Structure 1
Amino acid sequence: ILDSLQDAADEVPIDKEHKQQTRALALSALLRGSERSWRLLENPSRLRIYTIDSFSSHLARQMPLMSRFGAQPGVREDAMPYYEEAATRTLELLEAEGVGEIVQQALHYFDNDAYRLNQLLAEMLARRDQWLDYTQNNASPEIAEQALGRMILQDIEAAAACLGPARQQALMPLARFAASNLPCEHPIALLRDWETVIPARPEALSMWRAVCDLLLTGKDHKGGLRKRLDKNMGMPATPEAKPFKDQLTAFLDDLRMQPAAEAALANIRLLPDARHEDEAWQLIATLGRLLKLAVAQLWLVFQSHGDVDFVEVSQRALKALEDEAGNPTDLALKLDYRIQHLLVDEFQDTSPTQVKLLQRLTRGWEPGDGRTLFAVGDPMQSIYRFRKANVGLFLRVAEEGIGDLSLVKLRLWRNNRSCVPVIEWINKAFAGVFPQQDSVLQGAISYRPFAATKPPEVGSAVYVHPFISGSADAETDEDEEVQSETADELRLREANKIIEIIHHTKVEEPDSKIAVLVRARSHLHALVSQIRRHHPSLSFQAVEIEELANRQIVQDLLSLTNALHHRADHVHWLAILRAPWCGLTLADLHALAGGDRYRTIPSLMHDEARLNAMSADGRARLLHVRNVLDEALAQRGRQSIARWVHGVWLMLGGPDCLWEPGDVRDVQAFFERIARLEASGQFSTEQLAVEVQKLYAAPDAEADDKLQFMTIHKSKGLEFDTVILPGLDRKPGGNDQPLLMWEEVPRDNVMHDAAQFDLIAAPLPAKGKHKSTAPTLYDYLKHLERTRAGNEDARVLYVAATRAERCLHLIGVARRNDKGELKAPKNTFLELLWPHVYADFAVASEEGQRIQQMEEQDVDEGISLTEFVPKLVRLAAPGIPAIFSQREQKAGVLRRSAEQSVESLAATPEDSLDALVGVLAHRYLEFVARHGLELWPTTRIASLKPAMLKWLQRQGVKPEALDSAAERTIAMLQTTLQSEDGRWLLRPRESASAELPIATLDEETARLQRLDLTFVEDGMRWIIDYKSTAFAPDVSEQALRQQAEMHREQLESYARLFEGEGLPVKTAICFLSVGRLIRMC
């Protein structure tokens, strides 16, 4: 609003047609403001624009409701530590007089699992605004049963509408025949005497269940209308049964013509009995009393900390407007006089408490009195259930109004953001993605199509990028194992596709704004990692994506903090000696700490014998760090923790180790979090680790804002020229298991007074408790929540798609089932869109574009992963900053030490390639040993070249080296399998084991050794080691034996593994390149 007023005052040119009306309104507002001397631009506070939470705080501050604090409390945004503390205090009342029995009963139900009950209580306290009123009203089981009856009646009536009296009359004789052929205990047997229409009442639920068992497959709500009739459901294959079977088949075919019938009947199977068991109700009453105890303890926690949460503020705001007798307070009367116009934006995301606040603010308003309530919202964009938003409230208010106010509905249908091709695709696709009709109970919104106002633009479209994973024609499981990709590799391919789209878009439209939107932050990890590693010039802004705890500089600071507080913490002390400010090699770390598990690292740092065993460079680095840490430990307790740790970090040279953009902000955030914990008296290294997990790296302010990565929820309200939606095949996180499931059931159509609602509740089933065959109320309410979550998933996908102005890119992975059919993963965005994108995936499948083939590595061909040798990142000298080169200064990156670390995988790229060829040959020989020579003719080996090429490519082998590496592997395998020695080794033996892992404990050090091949023959244990060293075909026996002697010690260590077996041991080496066996002993 302020931006529009400022633009109008500054006469900023309008770039979009739909903003003309906004400009006209802004000019009118400025003119009116000038007449009334409002001076809105100079005094923007005159515009009372609040979030509902801030407005609630404003109300609460005007009433003496929090006087028990002694001062106005603060508002804690993340109050989970308070909830956990209150839950702990509640359980500590176990021995308290008068209330201890309540805690005892609850603990008994949860099998004395205090930790689990503590966590459940804490989660319930976070949502206490939804149940507190009902626990205080002490509702009776009779009222709860009536509410449950009203609730399940909706599903029974839906089924009765599909199976009306005429259909039931036609089904009766068929049902009676089927029931007569089944034993009495069978569910369908209840229909033996069915002669009257089943009433649409909860009392007839058992009959409705029997009808569903007759018509549907399976036992639960996932069953569909039967396609096959057999003796198991009362239709045997006899001449007598044939007419009944034919009639029932025709009945089912007719029922399929009614789209809602199958779902309506399936829902019957979810319905619980409309009565509360006495035991269950007693437990609910106990848990209700326990929750009230927890709320009382939470208030004490709030008092002790001087803070409250937003829920408390909202509750106090409601009480500020209405006294205990239900009458308006003086503040409510004052506001009633002052508030003339109330506009609520994003109304689709309001919670029950917020709607109740609006109801109390508008109490007494009458039509024609000049006061207006304007609620604006798009129910198709309601995506904040995790913040207690309930889209059903939007539907109910739209139809029934708020309190005594009736509202007029105005539907907006124009879209001023997206181009015609994008709008047309969204309208077509989402008409099937959204539910077919609205439902307040299920939080379901049917699709409302809209029209584009922007003209078409060149290149505007929706693009589908299909990946296919799995193979329908893999010869064996092992072949599939060789050819298939791991989840990490899959995400790497997806990341490369995103980068390719970004580069292409930037070339075509340099000024366009691009967004990559994901469901969860973790879905961007592979992309961010790939960009930082291979495309550092690709600048982007990530909004709350990169977790601070995953940043190396923060991990080093956490280690430093832990080490300073715990001298015996081996892991963190070793970590700070490995960090860039010290940078000891693994050899020096081993010289310092190897072989001694009982002395602390600080004491070992003063052991001169161990220091003398280190390299000169390592000793110099360690002495510098030792001096700093000795002085720091001597100063412990003399200053604040934040200042103490920060000072140590400075002395170690920490600032010189900041080379990534944003590192400075990350370090500041870390020390600010320590200071905050210390100020609240909550500091501990454990709590610090928890708090850091909640922090995210700040976006790079200097990065290109034309490329942004964010979650879909963060993108709401924004727009971008191009939107990329990866990970459509990814599933959302699992649902929690609350202590209680509850549901508000309205008595009538008045909105929204708690007195007009009843509550039904069900406790979390105890672990190990026998589960009855009938659905439980908890299961029913849980399924209702899952249904609401599924409906919201459709809306989340819609929000993501509608952020695109010109181009929308969809990326997902479909998989093949056992029959080779393409399927979208269940409960994913891809499943929602499957009818509209299946054709794209089918084409990709027909073209043989498996995911390994579809993606071209978007990596500089001059870079090979085999050439990547991990380097120890450290300062050039202890305590001395590394020297910056001009190029590195621009990049903000410290020069790394040129010294390669001892953990290098190979000395040269050639050695690394040889090692990869050997690994691949070993892998196939394992398959041969397991399945037998007869399944592995030499022709099959040659046919595996494509699979080998893919595997080698995924390991990072250069394109020009791929073919020769695969050919070498094939040649070794064929030579070995054709040789006399090779065929003797690999012939079937019951005692044979290939790639056998054996773990040993040597001087308290665990070691894992893997034997290429071992077997027993003629009472002799054989141990075979494969070597892929290249030799000429005519190599002499002497040359092979000389090479073998180099590995004698290794084979002797293998032989010692079988000393306790009691069999003589023989060892040998098989040189694969010539297929010859050299016996060692």
Structure 2
Amino acid sequence: MSEAARVAGDLLAADAAARSRALELGSFIVEAPAGAGKTELLTQRYLRLLSCVEAPEEIVAITFTNKAAGEMASRILESLQRAAAGERPEAAHKRITFDLARAALAAGAERSWNLLEHPARLRITTIDALCMNLARQMPLLSRFGSQPRLAEEASRHYAEAARRTLALIAEDGDAGALADTVAAALRHLDNDAVRLGLLLAEMLARRDQWLRHALAAPSRAEAEDGFAQLIGRELESAAAAIDARRQAALMPAARYAAANLPPESPLAPLLEWTVPLAPGADALPQWRALAALLLTAEGEPRKAWNKNLGLPPGKESDTHKKTLAALAQELAADEAAALARVRELPAPRYTDEEWLTVEALGALLKVAAAQLWTVFAEAGETDFIEVASRALQALGTSDAPTDLALALDYRIRHLLVDEFQDTSPTQVELLERLTAGWTMDEKAGAGRTLFAVGDPMQSIYRFRKADVGLFLRVADFGIGGLPLERLQLARNNRSAPAVVDWINARFADIFPPQDSVFEGAIRYRAFAATRPAAACAGVFVHPLVVAKDMPGDAAEVIEAERILEVIDAARRDDPQGRIAVLVRARSHLDALVATLRRQRPALRFQAVEIEALRSRQTIQDLLSLARALHHRGDRVHWLAILRAPWCGLTLADLHALAGDDHRSTVWQLLGDDARVARLSPDGRRRLLHLRGVVGEALAHQGRQRPRRWLESTWLGLGGGACLREDAAVADARAFLELVDRLDAAGRFSLEELERETARLYAAPDAAAGDTLQFMTVHKAKGLEFETVIVPGLHRAVGGGGGGEQKLMRWEEVAFAGTDERLVAAPIRGKGRGDGASLHDYLRLLERERAANEDQRTLYVAATRAIRALHLVGVACPRNDGTLAAPAASFLELLWPALSAKFDEAPLQEAVADAGAGAQFEPRLLRLVDPAIAELLRAGAEVENLPLPRVPTEAVGDGGGAGGDAALAADVGTLVHGYLEMIARDGLAPWPLSRVESLLPAMRVWLGQQGHAEAAVRRGAREAQNALRATLESVAGRWVLGDHDEAVAEWAVSVADGEAIATQVIDRSFVADGARWIIDYKTTKVGTGTTLRQHAERYREQLERYCALFRADGLPLRMAVFYTATGDLLELLPSGEASGS
């Protein structure tokens, strides 16, 4: 047996023992790595407990999301249903579940539970729902009274509370002390009230992290004790690197160097150095001096010393230099880093000014929290932080539990907590109060259990206040007085062995060597694969090396095209397999989505909260319309609605309207008939249409709800007719529904609309299925895919690594076990010195914890893969020609393993169309005529756009009723419009699947023309069938294909005496040395008439078109194309035989 097989066997044996132990009646904390079957274990545990309680309500299972709660409940009920049906499974772990479910059913039958008929008796809830329920049960103690609404977006409340807090500076009398507090905080920030307000609002959004600290208000002595403990902990690493032996050897040289330098020298603290330095805060000056003596400014071991370091030329200096050189050469990289770290440590005492600032800011934050409570009360809203806080109040303390706590203690006998690695301090405190007294005496605690399960290696939600250190602390010390036995699962049921082996090998090096509550660090826990080996399984690296001077967008296109190649290969290998592209940030998908839409429009995908609606033209136009209607002086947005597709004024017409008057509002200029007369005839018609619709809207301002007012104006302008596809319809609907929600909540304002629109994302394409999905790593947690692609390895993500400024930072410092001290550090004020500050040091700790979380984020991405994991990254040579990974990137974490592959990779050339954006020429997209809401058309030269065309053809030859004729005309317009788009875009972006998706947009457009619902459905089907028949026919694809001098809907004007006659030619191009003139007909030819006979009716019209081009000298050929059948009928000159 190989060593790898032996290790895997040991892991699986330990896993089996842990699973068996987890089903016993005890309290446990279980580490379940990715793919370990955590939900199955929770289901088994729940079923096991059902067989030993008097009522199912005695068991409470807590998850973090409604989806997870629903999945757990579904698993439990399915297990009970299978057991009731006697469906004993084959798989060993499923048989365990079956037996446990059967025992649970027997217990239920004995006690008349009827769980299958009453599944609501299963108490499976989210932690937020639990908190709300607790606060609701004790309204007086929780101080909620009547239940407030949960605010969808509480940031406005935080900003208002911050504003009210700062306004206290103007208060007198009893509020004078508060005014002094505000003034002190403003002085510290150089009287920057705007900055202080923003920092206060940000702190209020995270008050569950600091409010209990602010209320505790530690004394200066207690805080400095904690401060010293922090420094001492850091110095322990330096003392391990420079141990007593090394220190003894360094002492003579250090004293000699210090003696040769002035008293203010950094080395002066070493002048009297005679005993080894202790790892304590009092010795920090000596440790700093030692770092200066041995290390360069970059933290590397020195190779030379001179008189500036107290070692001038001379024999005695040479002896000391040799000692220093020998010791410096001994230092390993991690030892040098530990010593260099000393330089980051601040002085271990507060100055008087610093402590006064701590007190002032602490007091200010408490006032801001109180102001927030009043803001919440006035608005009748609250946030989840407040709900959790009130739930804790409703439970009381462990020393003084409330009646509710005692009642829950009586009713709850077993707690199960899922995803325990994602808990916050408030949530752990809630669990402590729920379990308080469970172990006060053996009799009271008998039979009560807490079961927590999670994977600390998947703790990636620090931005939601999750703290992985809590998992480690609870595993070591339990919750409250309740000890938990630690169990470790070690099997992976998800990934192929090749993937598991790679993950085990790589992440053992990436993760820290040991757990650390203080650093938020988790060592790697290996697991063993249980799946059989699979073909084409494994981890595949796609290194892309680009020139240093290649533009970033060009490199992004290269990466995007490589991703598309990987997707194509994965679909060939496993046509039904699910593929996921996982990124760290949404913006990392921008280039891929753009490339895919440009090159592969037929490739459907689901993007989960990836594409921001704010950047889409439909939403921008709607926002501009909303702003213009609400503010007549908003010149930018008034000009925007004149430029929008429903009006589409040219730049020349806009300049004629407003170019010489910057004082009047645009609405005033629209009412100036003399000014309007300056516009082109087309521009006047467009502007007058908009003026009429908007004038009517402004006359009704304030008389309608915002959505109805905005939507009716938008539709009147022709906004609905500007939507070409169902995705645009969905976007517009999402925006208008947002207006509705804001209005219903009493929050509608332009500022709120802007803010909330930025949070809207395009809905996933439901028709795309789940075979190709784009999402962030955080969204993918808990999911699995046959193929996972992780692009952008080289990209760093800023802002989440503790780098953001905070008004105040706190750190809980553990002394012995769970005894803690609190350290507080105010933000550095302007002109407060350049040395290391406590705030900067705590900020550094946060960055390091974020870096540890980045390692876990990469682990989460890698462990989503079932069969194949593809890693895609870009590197460029440095000045010396070598390659290196960017800092703070996934590639930096993987560089030791991947660098050789990048070194071997060829240099990539820029993709031919990568710079297409540089040659992009904007085109005005607009309705042909806003008064006759026709489909969008885009012309290279907007002045040559055709005038309104009124279709004269009918669906049948029988004349029909007026309604049928109108529908036929509009169907013709619809088909003509789409054929123009296809001709303009080319055939590649128009697969039949895209035609299928057009039906909703077609129905919307036809409905806006005033047709009844039945006619709308019939007309949309006819238009869709015509497009399908055209694209499926050889003739249709030839007509719409790529030809020389190809044009569509070509408006040609000629002088006829004093009048100008304009002819609109549906399609024209040069092929086989002749110019083709083609007219489209959506007509369905009736019985008794052949296509040839029907086509002959249009001979005169086509010959009139041909006459316009006889002077060009090219042979002329004319034809009629029937969209309903895909037939092309050529009409030869009179007297010649005709053929098709």
Residue by residue, what CA displacement relative to the aligned partner does 1:777-809 show, whole Å, maximum 9, x if unpaired? 111111111111111111111111111111111
User: What's the counterpart of residue 375 of structure 1?
Assistant: 452
User: What's the counterpart of residue 262 of structure 1?
Assistant: 336
**Does residue 819 of structure 2 align to residue 745 of structure 1?**
no
**Candidates 64, 78, 86, aligned match of 2:153:** 78
Distance 1:338 1:820, change over 3 A: same
**Candidates 291, 296, 318, aligned match of 2:365:** 291
**Does residue 258 of structure 2 align to residue 201 of structure 1?**
no
User: What's the counterpart of residue 551 of structure 2?
Assistant: 486
The 8 Å contact of residues 828 and 837 in structure 2, kept in 1 or not, is answered as no
Query: Could you tell me the percent identity over the aligned residues?
Result: 53
Deviation at 1:350, TM superposition (A): 0.6
Q: Which amino acid aligns with 2:807?
A: L
The 8 Å contact of residues 510 and 893 in structure 2, kept in 1 or not, is answered as yes
**Does residue 619 of structure 2 align to residue 554 of structure 1?**
yes
Please list, as runs of the form range in 1=range in 2, the aligned pairs for 1:315-326 lying within 5 A after superposition. 315-322=389-396, 326=399
Distance 1:165 1:21 in 2: 57
Residue by residue, what CA displacement relative to the aligned partner does 1:141-189 show, whole Å, maximum 9, x if unpaired? 0111111112222122232233332222122123223334444332123
Distance 1:303 1:705, change over 3 A: same
Distance 1:321 1:909 in 2: 80
**Does residue 422 of structure 2 align to residue 349 of structure 1?**
yes
Unaligned runs of 5+ in 2: 1-71, 936-972, 979-991, 1006-1042, 1047-1140
Deviation at 1:495, TM superposition (A): 1.5
User: What's the counterpart of residue 1039 of structure 2?
Assistant: none
Distance 2:577 2:842 in 1: 46
Look up the SS of the partner of 1:273 in the other structure. coil
Distance 1:616 1:856 in 2: 42
Please list, as runs of the form range in 1=range in 2, the aligned pairs for 1:150-165 lying within 5 A after superposition. 150-165=229-244
User: What's the counterpart of residue 907 of structure 2?
Assistant: 850
**Candidates 774, 795, 800, aligned match of 2:856:** 795
Distance 2:998 2:112 in 1: 52
Deviation at 1:252, TM superposition (A): 2.6
Look up the SS of the partner of 2:688 in the other structure. helix
Look up the SS of the partner of 2:487 in the other structure. coil
User: What's the counterpart of residue 700 of structure 1?
Assistant: 765
User: What's the counterpart of residue 567 of structure 1?
Assistant: 632
Deviation at 1:653, TM superposition (A): 2.4
Deviation at 1:546, TM superposition (A): 1.1
Residue by residue, what CA displacement relative to the aligned partner does 1:77-124 show, whole Å, maximum 9, x if unpaired? 421111100000111111212221111111122111111000111111
**Does residue 364 of structure 2 align to residue 301 of structure 1?**
no
Distance 1:891 1:669, change over 3 A: closer
Look up the SS of the partner of 1:118 in the other structure. helix
**Does residue 119 of structure 2 align to residue 44 of structure 1?**
yes
Distance 1:617 1:132 in 2: 64
Distance 1:566 1:15 in 2: 69
User: What's the counterpart of residue 761 of structure 1?
Assistant: 824
Q: Which amino acid aligns with 2:797?
A: P
**Candidates 387, 401, 405, aligned match of 2:478:** 401
Please list, as runs of the form range in 1=range in 2, the aligned pairs for 1:655-666 lying within 5 A after superposition. 655-666=720-731
**Does residue 872 of structure 2 align to residue 872 of structure 1?**
no
User: What's the counterpart of residue 837 of structure 2?
Assistant: 776
**Does residue 210 of structure 2 align to residue 131 of structure 1?**
yes
Distance 1:877 1:763, change over 3 A: same
Deviation at 1:33, TM superposition (A): 4.6
- 260-269 or 196-205, larger mean C-alpha shift: 260-269
Distance 1:385 1:397 in 2: 18
**Candidates 251, 261, 273, aligned match of 2:347:** 273
**Does residue 196 of structure 2 align to residue 117 of structure 1?**
yes
Deviation at 1:355, TM superposition (A): 0.8
Deviation at 1:42, TM superposition (A): 4.4
Look up the SS of the partner of 1:61 in the other structure. helix
Q: Which amino acid aligns with 2:547?
A: G
User: What's the counterpart of residue 1061 of structure 2?
Assistant: none
Look up the SS of the partner of 2:830 in the other structure. coil
**Does residue 515 of structure 2 align to residue 458 of structure 1?**
no
User: What's the counterpart of residue 674 of structure 1?
Assistant: 739
Q: Which amino acid aligns with 1:281?
A: W
Look up the SS of the partner of 2:766 in the other structure. coil
Distance 1:102 1:625 in 2: 55
**Does residue 395 of structure 2 align to residue 327 of structure 1?**
no
User: What's the counterpart of residue 638 of structure 1?
Assistant: 703
Look up the SS of the partner of 2:900 in the other structure. helix
Deviation at 1:26, TM superposition (A): 5.0
Distance 1:486 1:294 in 2: 47
User: What's the counterpart of residue 966 of structure 2?
Assistant: none
The 8 Å contact of residues 606 and 770 in structure 2, kept in 1 or not, is answered as yes
Residue by residue, what CA displacement relative to the aligned partner does 1:276-314 show, whole Å, maximum 9, x if unpaired? 111111111111111111111111101110011111111
The 8 Å contact of residues 729 and 824 in structure 1, kept in 2 or not, is answered as yes
Distance 2:90 2:734 in 1: 39
**Candidates 489, 501, 512, aligned match of 1:435:** 512
Distance 2:618 2:846 in 1: 41
Please list, as runs of the form range in 1=range in 2, the aligned pairs for 1:402-551 lying within 5 A after superposition. 402-471=479-548, 484-551=549-616
Report the TM-score, using the length of structure 1 for normalisation.
Answer: 0.76
Distance 1:238 1:271 in 2: 35
Deviation at 1:724, TM superposition (A): 0.9
Distance 2:919 2:318 in 1: 73
The 8 Å contact of residues 77 and 310 in structure 1, kept in 2 or not, is answered as no
The 8 Å contact of residues 380 and 445 in structure 1, kept in 2 or not, is answered as yes
Deviation at 1:389, TM superposition (A): 0.7
Distance 1:707 1:661, change over 3 A: farther
Distance 2:579 2:768 in 1: 13
Q: Which amino acid aligns with 1:827?
A: A
Distance 1:337 1:298 in 2: 35
Distance 2:609 2:592 in 1: 15
**Does residue 452 of structure 2 align to residue 362 of structure 1?**
no
- 41-50 or 346-355, larger mean C-alpha shift: 41-50
Distance 1:909 1:684, change over 3 A: farther
User: What's the counterpart of residue 62 of structure 2?
Assistant: none
Distance 1:867 1:175 in 2: 65
Distance 2:903 2:704 in 1: 67
User: What's the counterpart of residue 242 of structure 1?
Assistant: 318
Distance 2:628 2:106 in 1: 65
Distance 1:538 1:66, change over 3 A: farther
Distance 2:141 2:731 in 1: 37
Distance 2:88 2:588 in 1: 39
User: What's the counterpart of residue 37 of structure 2?
Assistant: none
The 8 Å contact of residues 867 and 909 in structure 1, kept in 2 or not, is answered as no
The 8 Å contact of residues 5 and 27 in structure 1, kept in 2 or not, is answered as no
Distance 2:91 2:897 in 1: 32
User: What's the counterpart of residue 1126 of structure 2?
Assistant: none
**Candidates 605, 621, 628, aligned match of 2:670:** 605
Look up the SS of the partner of 1:820 in the other structure. coil
Look up the SS of the partner of 1:49 in the other structure. strand
Taking only aligned residues, the RMSD between alpha carbons, in angstroms, comes to: 2.8
Look up the SS of the partner of 1:718 in the other structure. coil
Distance 1:32 1:506, change over 3 A: farther
- Aligned residues between the structures: 866
Distance 1:18 1:227 in 2: 62
Distance 1:546 1:224, change over 3 A: same
Q: Which amino acid aligns with 2:272?
A: D
- 38-47 or 17-26, larger mean C-alpha shift: 17-26
User: What's the counterpart of residue 135 of structure 2?
Assistant: 60
Look up the SS of the partner of 1:823 in the other structure. coil
Residue by residue, what CA displacement relative to the aligned partner does 1:751-794 show, whole Å, maximum 9, x if unpaired? xxxxx5322111111123332x3x21111111111111111111
**Does residue 268 of structure 2 align to residue 189 of structure 1?**
yes
User: What's the counterpart of residue 1038 of structure 1?
Assistant: none
Unaligned runs of 5+ in 1: 472-483, 751-755, 897-907, 912-1081
The 8 Å contact of residues 73 and 122 in structure 2, kept in 1 or not, is answered as no
Distance 1:604 1:451 in 2: 74
